[in-house]
A and B are shown apart, each in its own frame.
Chain A
C-alpha cells in the first residue's frame, strides 16, 4: 500500500526559529516528491524534487530529497507568523500521474 508519513504532526515555534519538517514515503513507481503549503484554503505549490541530494531553495524555504532512504525534509529559516500553515508532502507516481499525500504538519509561529 502506498503511504506518505509526515512528522511531526504539529509544532509551535517562535518567530526567528528554524524548523525542519520530515516526510517519508513508500510510493509505487515513485517519480518525484512535492511540497505544498495550505492556509485554510487551497494547497499552494512549493517544491518538486526529482533528483536525490539536490537542494531546492526559495527564499527562506529549502528542501532536499533522499531517494535511497525514501525521505525528504523541508527547512524554514527565520520563521515568520506568515509561515503558519499546514505543510503537505506528496509522492508522485510515475504511472497515472497520481499524488499520494501525507496527513500534513501543522506549523504555528508565535510572535
Chain B
C-alpha cells in the first residue's frame, strides 16, 4: 500500500465549528487530492495540489479550503462545518501528472 495516512479517522462535530483534516504521505509524491464520497455520487474532487503551495479547486470546493506547506502534508479545512459536509473524505496521491492515484484510508466526518 502507498504510504498515506489520514487523521483523524473519525470525527463528530457541531454545525458552525471549524474542522481540519490531515493527509500525510511518505512517498514524496508531487500531486495530492481531497475527495468526498457520498451515496449515489461516487467520489467528487474537492481540491488538489500540484506542488508545495500550489493548489486548485475541484468540482465541489465551496465551503472548503486547503493548504500545503510541505510535500508530505495536505490539509483540508472546513471553516464553519455544515450538515451537508457530513461525508467520508479521502485523500489521494500520484507521483506524476496523468498517472494513477492511490487513496488513503478515509476520514468519516459527521456534522450534527
Contacts and interface: CB of A to CB of B under 8 A. Distances in A.
Interface string B83-98: 0000000100010011
Interface stretch (B13-21, B68-76, B100-108): B100-108
Contacts, number: 53
A62 B103 CA distance: 22
A94 interface: yes
Contact of A97 (B43, B48, B103): B48
A104 B40 CA distance: 8
Contacts of B59: 100
Interface residues of A, number: 24
B58 A98 contact: yes
Given A96-B48, A98-B48, A42 B90 contact: yes
A97 B97 contact: yes
A88 B42 contact: yes
B30 to A, nearest CB: 10
A97 B31 contact: yes
A43 B90 CA distance: 9
A16 B86 CA distance: 38
Interface of A: 4, 31-32, 34, 36, 41-45, 48, 88, 90, 92, 94, 96-104
Interface of B: 31, 33, 35, 40-45, 48, 50, 56, 58-59, 90, 94, 97-106
27 contacts: A4-B42, A32-B98, A36-B103, A41-B105, A42-B90, A42-B103, A42-B106, A43-B103, A44-B103, A45-B101, A45-B102, A48-B100, A90-B43, A94-B98, A97-B48, A97-B94, A98-B45, A98-B48, A98-B58, A99-B43, A99-B101, A100-B45, A101-B42, A101-B44, A103-B41, A103-B42, A104-B42
